[in-house]
Chain A
């Protein structure tokens, strides 16, 4: 369906990534946010708090991130599209509720504007070191979707995408920004509402008698009902059967947990978004995401000026990891260069997907600033040999 024009601030704006993310959420139909202040993410909810009473919706500042990350899920079951926004320490606190959202198949969006860690780390400075946490941070087996914008424009566009994927797959979507992208100001074009596609909630049309809250009816994703509609359904974080009732058998556990994972991994190719350039003749492919992709671009440009055959693969979807693409490239390139603002997280995935067919150069950085393009260039040169 098309976006509700009330939430769409059509026009050209010169705003930062945090504000653009908020506008994306509003355009996507988010009418509820629960948050707790934390640098460098707070601007998202500050803007939401200012905007939403004029659009029709609610913002509540909760007492901590545990509260924020479950309040939003209450709102989802009450019928709203909802999200929360945080950064490293708060993201850590939200992990249990990411698991709850995965288990109960609550469609929602968690925005993490990444800063340096561990612990309090570097509150005002960038990192990309929550990438594995986004995938594996809650206990147990489950799958999520994670997107990595690299500009304020993408903070707008991909936030809409994040909400759409959340609804399509009934899954928590991690929106993995970083401090630079969050605080960087650029032009953001917001199209008219009738040009914005919004995925509606997968709401059941079944009668009260027919409806089973976790019966997928042969699909991978069940239909949902909201509280107050008469379905009298039960939702639990316990292992549950198709009726939503707790059922602690290994058989039910196996069926449920595999489906929670498979509904995402089996659609990985469809979910995968990446930007690619010069891959046809490439000897070396630079794989990057978020702000690092823009730093790497300068190194790639210089390398190509020097006659090196360097290609670019920018991950827009980090999870599910686009391993098919990497595997396919690994068969025909010498090496991957993976710069990232962490001590080597997605590089491990690249290496795994490459399966030994091409070498992986992990170009680490502990965060606090971005790479020097020259450092990336040096590794490209080394990898090209």
Chain B
């Protein structure tokens, strides 16, 4: 668990902050690592754009902010437009594929892009609001950064007890998708579009 900078962003109500909390808790409580979560507060954090920064490391975290994220999870177009350029070379971009059109990514940066229809999956499970647990499951499977059991425990520990089962189902579903996902399937087609636009 070397120092990894993660940004999670979307709009209010998607569980952006909770996702960061779950992953941070998994790393620092259910595994023996360290994690720091910071978030935007105030009027700008009510509705609209919403973003959390998460640093995970096997040594104590000093500087608490993301400078160049290794991993970015984006769940809205606005968040994508605002934050995607920050991504580190060779970094990982995870998108809610129904809500984000991945355009204009610098090919030289060799970013691995993964997409998942998290909202649709959550709806199919019966509650749209568990999309963040789908995302967390997806993240866990394809990054391999954290022990899946630890994250699962963190999900169970972080949600209201009456929604625990549903969130765990959502996590498992996301994890399953992540285990079989291959990078850039979403991006390839979108990149073609952006090339067309450029032409």
Contact = CB atoms under 8 A, between A and B. Distances in A.
Given a CB threshold of 8 Å, the question of whether A touches B is answered with yes
Interface of A: 12-14, 39-40, 123-125, 179-180, 183-187, 291, 294-295, 297-298, 301, 370, 373
Given A187-B35, A298-B62, A124 B29 contact: no
A184 B38 contact: yes
Interface in B17-51: 21, 24-25, 28-29, 34-39, 41-45
Contacts of B44: 124
User: Top 4 A-B pairs ranked by shortest CB distance?
Assistant: A124-B42, A297-B62, A187-B28, A14-B25
B65 interface: yes
A294 B42 contact: no
Where chain A touches its partner, the secondary structure class is mixed
A125 B45 CA distance: 12
Where chain B touches its partner, the secondary structure class is mixed
Given A123-B42, A185-B24, A180 B29 contact: no
B65 to A, nearest CB: 7
A294 B28 contact: no
Contact of A180 (B25, B28, B38, B43): B38
Contact of A14 (B29, B43, B61): B29
Contact of B21 (A12, A123, A183, A185): A185
B83 to A, nearest CB: 17
Of B35, B39, B63, most buried by chain A (CB within 10 Å of CB) is B63
Given A39-B41, A124-B42, A180-B38, A187 B62 contact: no
Of A39, A125, A294, most buried by chain B (CB within 10 Å of CB) is A294
Contacts of A125: 42
A186 B63 contact: no
B85 interface: no
A295 B38 CA distance: 14
A373 B67 CA distance: 11
Chain B interface size range: 20 to 34
B80 to A, nearest CB: 23
Nearest to A124: B42
Contact of B65 (A39, A301, A370): A370
B12 interface: no
Interface in B98-150: none
Given A39-B42, A124-B43, A185-B21, 4 more contacts: A12-B29, A13-B29, A39-B41, A183-B41
B13 interface: no
A294 B25 contact: no
B64 interface: yes
Given A185-B36, A186-B28, A294 B41 contact: no
Given A14-B21, A40-B41, A186 B62 contact: no
12 contacts: A124-B43, A180-B38, A184-B38, A184-B64, A186-B24, A186-B34, A186-B35, A187-B28, A187-B29, A295-B62, A297-B62, A297-B63
B64 A294 contact: yes
B59 to A, nearest CB: 11
A294 B63 contact: yes
Contacts of B28: 14, 186-187
Nearest to B40: A124
Given A14-B28, A180-B64, A294-B63, A186 B42 contact: no
B64 A291 contact: yes
A163 to B, nearest CB: 26
A39 B64 CA distance: 20
A294 B62 CA distance: 5
B29 A185 contact: no
Contacts of B35: 14, 186-187
Nearest to B36: A186
Interface in B45-77: 45, 61-65
A184 to B, nearest CB: 5
B63 A373 contact: yes
A13 B39 CA distance: 18
